[in-house]
């Protein structure tokens, strides 16, 4: 029901996969990882993708993030076809997507503020303005104004993830992809982190696709998709 409602509400999907297949390896070792994926995600939606380990969630996420090129079927992100896209096209696309990783992946030789700046410096429109002010503002929003000059190593896990969220969202991307953002966090920090993502995304009308095993955060989603053995399927009723 929920799915149908969303489809009618929105017009053009911002992420659209049609009959998407993906393989790893060559020859005898060739193994299909994704089978006939059909998925539309619309602007402003928060979609949680869940499913057992090895089901292909992360593979799909990397395809949608332009981190791998699509092999078979069709995958359109922000109206760009990613099938057989060149390396340059993928690199360019990635500038419009925010990423939040399980292992935050902050640059350890930079301070929190500099990490956030790195995301801004990709865009000419920010380079002309006051980068430090924009970076400080978003760090204030995630509650880290006191920690702006700290190196990543000197921050707690939750603080690092908040810097990563600030980094992913500061340049106002249309899409944010997050892979297990709460896995390394305790219950409260994890909850804070996703609520922060939700709040910022709603403010910026940004689409979020979030892969997680964490049942505690499922309630922030507009829609939940379930994946098993490389296929999208109806979510089995869990207890």
Partner 1 sequence: MFRKFFRRTPLAWLQLKREPTRFAVALAGIAFADILIFFQLGLAEGLFDSVTKPYTALQGDLFLINPLFESMAVVKSFPRRRLYQAAGVGEVRSINYMYIDQGRWRNPQTLKNQSTMVFAINPNDSAIVLPEVKAHLDRLKLLNRILYDRTGNADLFGKIVEPLQQSGSVPIQFNNIQTQVTGTFVMGASFSANGNVITSNSTFLRLFPERRADQIDVGIITLKPGTNIERVQTAIRSQIPDVLVLTHAEFIEHEKKYWQVNSPIGFLFGFGAVIGFIVGIVIVYQILYSDVSDHLPEYATLKAMGYGDGYLMSILIQESLIMAILGFIPGFIVALGLYSLATSVTFIPILMSVNRAVLVLGLTIIMCVASGGIAMRKLQEADPADIF
Q: Tell me which of 7, 122, 218, 233 binds partner 1, using CB under 8 A.
A: 122
CA atoms within 13 A on the CB side of 171: 25
* Under rule CB under 8 A, residue 108 binds partner 1: yes
In the complex, the smallest distance separating the C-beta of residue 39 from partner 1, rounded to whole angstroms, is 18
Q: Is residue 15 within 8 Å of 207, Cβ to Cβ?
A: yes
* Under rule CB under 8 A, residue 117 binds partner 1: yes
In the complex, the smallest distance separating the C-beta of residue 147 from partner 1, rounded to whole angstroms, is 17
The span of 8-16, 39-47, 76-84, 122-130 binding partner 1 (CB under 8 A) equals 122-130
Alpha carbons 109 and 123: distance in angstroms, whole number: 22
In the complex, the smallest distance separating the C-beta of residue 3 from partner 1, rounded to whole angstroms, is 26
* Under rule CB under 8 A, residue 91 binds partner 1: yes
In the complex, the smallest distance separating the C-beta of residue 203 from partner 1, rounded to whole angstroms, is 21
| Binding-residue total with partner 1 (CB under 8 A) | 35
Helix, strand, coil shares of the chain, percent, nearest 5, are 40, 25, 35
Cβ closest to partner 1, residue 7 vs residue 127: 127
* Under rule CB under 8 A, residue 158 binds partner 1: no
Alpha carbons 176 and 208: distance in angstroms, whole number: 5
Residue of 202, 142, 140 lying closest to 172 (CA atoms): 202
Cβ closest to partner 1, residue 33 vs residue 42: 33
* Under rule CB under 8 A, residue 198 binds partner 1: no
Q: Tell me which of 80, 92, 223, 231 binds partner 1, using CB under 8 A.
A: 92
* Under rule CB under 8 A, residue 204 binds partner 1: no
Q: Tell me which of 102, 141, 161, 198 binds partner 1, using CB under 8 A.
A: 102
Q: Is residue 10 within 8 Å of 222, Cβ to Cβ?
A: no
Other Cβ atoms less than 10 A from the Cβ of 184: the count is 16
Q: Is residue 138 within 8 Å of 116, Cβ to Cβ?
A: yes
Cβ closest to partner 1, residue 59 vs residue 141: 59
Cβ closest to partner 1, residue 6 vs residue 105: 105
Structure tokens belonging to residue 195: 């609520």
Sheet holding 31-42, edge to edge: 31-42, 13-24, 72-77, 80-81
Can you list the alpha helix ranges (DSSP code H) found in the chain?
Answer: 2-9, 57-64, 87-94, 112-120, 124-127, 131-141, 157-169, 187-204
Sites of contact with partner 1 (CB under 8 A): 58, 61-62, 65, 67-68, 88, 91-97, 99, 101-103, 105-110, 114, 117-119, 121-122, 124, 127, 131, 151, 179
């Amino acid at each position: 029901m929920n799915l149908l409602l969303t489809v009618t509400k929105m017009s053009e999907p911002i992420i659209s996969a049609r009959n998407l297949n993906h393989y790893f390896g060559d020859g005898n070792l060739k193994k299909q990882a994704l089978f006939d994926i059909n998925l539309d995600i619309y602007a402003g939606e928060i979609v949680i993708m869940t499913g057992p380990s090895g089901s292909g969630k992360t593979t799909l996420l990397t395809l949608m993030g332009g981190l791998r090129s699509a092999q078979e079927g069709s995958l359109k992100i922000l109206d760009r076809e990613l099938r057989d896209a060149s390396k340059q096209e993928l690199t360019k696309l990635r500038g419009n997507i925010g990423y939040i990783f399980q292992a935050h992946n902050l640059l350890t030789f930079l301070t929190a503020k500099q990490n956030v700046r790195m995301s801004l410096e990709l865009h000419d429109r920010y380079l002309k303005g006051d980068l430090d002010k924009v970076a400080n503002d978003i760090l204030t929003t995630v509650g880290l104004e006191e920690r702006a000059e700290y190196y990543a190593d000197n921050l707690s896990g939750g603080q690092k993830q908040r810097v990563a969220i600030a980094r992913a969202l500061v340049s106002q991307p249309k899409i944010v992809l997050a892979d297990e953002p709460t896995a390394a966090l305790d219950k409260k920090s994890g909850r804070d982190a996703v609520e922060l993502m939700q709040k910022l995304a709603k403010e910026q009308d940004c689409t979020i696709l979030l892969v997680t095993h964490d049942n505690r955060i499922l309630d922030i989603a507009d829609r939940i998709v379930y994946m098993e053995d490389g296929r999208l399927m109806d979510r089995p009723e869990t207890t």
